[in-house]
Amino acid sequence: MRGLWNQIATSLKTRFLVVTVCVFGLVAVPAYVAFEFLTRKTVVALGTLFAEKQVLFDRYRGLEALTREVSLAETVARSPAVRAWARDEADPAKTKLGLAELEHYRLSFHDKSYFFVVDQSGNYYFNNVENAYDGNQLRYQVNRDNQRDGWYFKTIAAGQPCQLNVDRDDHLAVTKVWINCVIAEQGRILGVIGTGVDLTEFIREVVALPQTGVTSMFVDHAGAIQAHRDPGMVDFHSLTKDTKTKKTIFQQVDSPADAAELAAMMRRVSAGPAAVESRFMTIGGREFLVGVGYLDQLGWFNVTLMDIDAIIDRHLFTPIALLLIVMMTAAVVLVTILFRRVVLDRLATVEAGARRVEDGDFDNIVVDQGSDEIGRLSRTLSGMAHAVRDHTRVLEDLVDERTEKLRRLANIDLLTEIPNRRGFTQVFEQWLAASPLAPRSAGLLLIDLDGFKDVNDVFGHLAGDRLLCETARRLAPLLTERDSCGRWGGDEFVVLVEDRDADALRELCARMVAAMNAAPIRSDGGQDIALTVSIGACRVVSGGSIDAAFAEADAALYAAKRAGRNRFVLFDAGAASARDAVATAQA
The stretch 476-499 carries a mean pLDDT of 93
What is the per-residue pLDDT for 237? 60
Closest CA to 290 of 210, 209, 217: 217
Tens digit of each residue's pLDDT (9 = 90 or more) over 177-236: 788 899 998 888 989 998 887 766 666 666 666 667 788 788 887 888 877 777 777 776
Does any domain span residue 481? yes
Number of domains in the chain: 1
241, 224 Cβ separation under 8 angstroms: yes
Burial of 472 (0-12, 13-18, 19+ CB in 10 A): middle
522 occurs within a structural domain? yes
* 126 belongs to a structural domain: no
Pick the closest to residue 452 from 514, 529, 522, 524 (CA basis): 529
pTM of the prediction?
0.39
Task: Encode burial over 266-288: b for 16+ CB neighbours within 10 A, e otherwise.
Answer: beebeeeeeebbbbebebeeeeb
196 exposure class (CB count in 10 Å sphere: 0-12, 13-18, 19+)? buried
511 is a domain residue: yes
pLDDT band at residue 124, thresholds of 50, 70 and 90? very high
- Which CATH number do you get for residue 538? 3.30.70.270
| 126: three-class secondary structure by DSSP | strand
- Residue 76 in any domain: the answer is no
Q: How far apart are CA 171 and CA 535, in angstroms?
A: 105
Confidence class of residue 581 from pLDDT cuts 50, 70 and 90?
A: very low
| Residue 107 forms part of a structural domain | no
| C-beta of residue 268 within 8 angstroms of C-beta of residue 178 | no
CB neighbour burial string for 430-452, b if at least 16 within 10 angstroms, e if fewer = ebbeeeeeeeeebbbbbbbbbbb
pLDDT band per the 50, 70, 90 thresholds, residue 584: very low
Domain with 529 in it? 412-580
Residue 447 in any domain: the answer is: yes
Answer yes or no: is 503 within a domain: yes
Burial class of residue 107 (count of CB atoms within 10 Å of its CB; 0-12, 13-18, 19+): exposed
What is the pLDDT averaged over residues 510-527?
A: 90
Residues 396-432: tens digit of each pLDDT = 777 777 777 777 778 899 899 999 999 999 999 988 8
